[in-house]
Structure 1
Amino acid sequence: MNTSSLALGQSTSGQTIAMRAQARRLHERVALRAGLALIAWSRKQSERLSHENVMLRQQNTALAHRVRAGDLQQVALFGSSL
């Protein structure tokens, strides 16, 4: 029986298993980093959108106040002319 081929076969098999384990760990690390990057991006988007929504709400409120003030002026003008 040729023991060198058996040892070589076991070594290659062991190397293959080790390489597969390393590749699996690499994929897990890449997936983890990608997931964390997506979470960070999502949080930044939410913060940006929240800021934009606050600004838009403030602009709409200011516009509503101006329109309301304009309506009150028109009512006052119509009331004084009667």
Structure 2
Amino acid sequence: MRIIDNDYNTYEQVIRICMKALSIGFEDALQIALAVDHNGQADVFQGDEGSARQVAEVIASIGIEVRVEPLTDAN
């Protein structure tokens, strides 16, 4: 699951929602916020589709664009 940068959510909002949705600490959430800001997006969750959609729903609740995509087989 990937989150996409936008021009209206603050660092604090991204950090707080990532902490909530992903059950992570401040430092990990800060690293996600920095990655999104610098790269325009960040992969934040890998797991089964149902869990990914639950995480995506929480993050999207504050207006952040999320993308849930199946993993591709690298083999």
TM-score in terms of structure 1 length: 0.19
More helix as a share of residues: 1
